[in-house]
A and B are shown apart, each in its own frame.
Chain A
């Protein structure tokens, strides 16, 4: 009788532990993925605000590098040992897109994440093209000037 009860308890434990471990693993996966996504939203938001107000001169690629650095490091000219705001994010993974009006002047700037894999231990989620923001360009567009 006692041996029979002990077997029941083992089966019940095995069953309940399977359910709970699966729930905890899923919770960790989603929780961590949401956490990283939230960090990315903050990063592209900061980069978008910076891009919208930055002076853009003839060397547009330099402005784009500064914007990418702003997204990744929170600084347009980061120190060599600077750490990214989101672990694993590099400037190459940040897309900067300019929108021009009919006259050729900048009217908006879009900043988004090209492709960013989030390793949530049990599974890897990949964000493609998101999160992304588009800010109206309110800075000074001066293609005739050169970067100092």
Chain B
């Protein structure tokens, strides 16, 4: 009687422990990658917004050059292996109203770059009820005429 009651214990204990272990692995592995992707995306949008803002000169051609400069930023995410996709470049005159294709290019002084589609695939946490993927968007704003703080 006692032997038969003990027989399944190791299996149950192992199952519970493995589930907890998967959750810990998921926290370390998946969340680690999510944080790196978020950081990489933020650094990319910082560089891209500066590139865009540096091209704004009050003309339509300047806005085109800003978009082209963002497309040429050679940075990647997911440990530097994947290209950024779906990048959105917007412009504004005062930082309150943002437009992708502004009608009055001469008033534009600021650029905002958003990298919205960085989906980190979740490998371990999904086994314990986590999501299949985690999106880590990032955006940055830069002005074409910033106050110089660095010498």
By a beta-carbon cutoff of 8 Å, the part of chain A in contact with chain B is 1, 5, 9, 12, 16, 20, 23-24, 26-28, 30-31, 34-35, 37-38, 41-42, 44-45, 48-50, 52-55, 130-136, 138-140
Min CB gap B115→A, angstroms: 14
Partner pick for A50 among B43, B73, B148, B150, CB 8 A cutoff: B150
Beta-carbon contact of A23 and B25 below 8 Å: yes
Beta-carbon contact of A55 and B43 below 8 Å: no
A133 cross-chain contacts in B, Cβ below 8 A: 43, 47, 75
For B1-39 the 0/1 string (1 means CB < 8 A from A) is 001001000100010010001001100110011011001
* Interface size grouping (class) on chain B: 20 to 34
Min CB gap B108→A, angstroms: 17
Q: How many A-B residue pairs have CB under 8 A?
A: 93
**Binding site secondary structure of chain B:** helix
Task: Determine the distance from Cα of A1 to Cα of B36 in the docked complex, in whole angstroms.
Answer: 54
Task: Determine the distance from Cα of A49 to Cα of B44 in the docked complex, in whole angstroms.
Answer: 11
Closest to B46 in A: A49
Whether A20 contacts B36 in the complex (CB less than 8 A), given A31-B28, A54-B150, A136-B69, comes out as no
For B57-99 the 0/1 string (1 means CB < 8 A from A) is 0000000000001000111000110000000000000000000
Task: Determine the distance from Cα of A85 to Cα of B43 in the docked complex, in whole angstroms.
Answer: 17
B24 cross-chain contacts in A, Cβ below 8 A: 24, 27
Beta-carbon contact of A20 and B21 below 8 Å: yes
Whether A38 contacts B46 in the complex (CB less than 8 A), given A30-B29, A55-B150, comes out as no
Interface residues of B in 42-58 (CB under 8 A from A): 42-43, 46-47, 50-51, 53-54
B6 cross-chain contacts in A, Cβ below 8 A: 5
Partner pick for B74 among A9, A54, A55, A134, CB 8 A cutoff: A134
Beta-carbon contact of B21 and A23 below 8 Å: yes
Min CB gap B18→A, angstroms: 8
Beta-carbon contact of B3 and A5 below 8 Å: yes
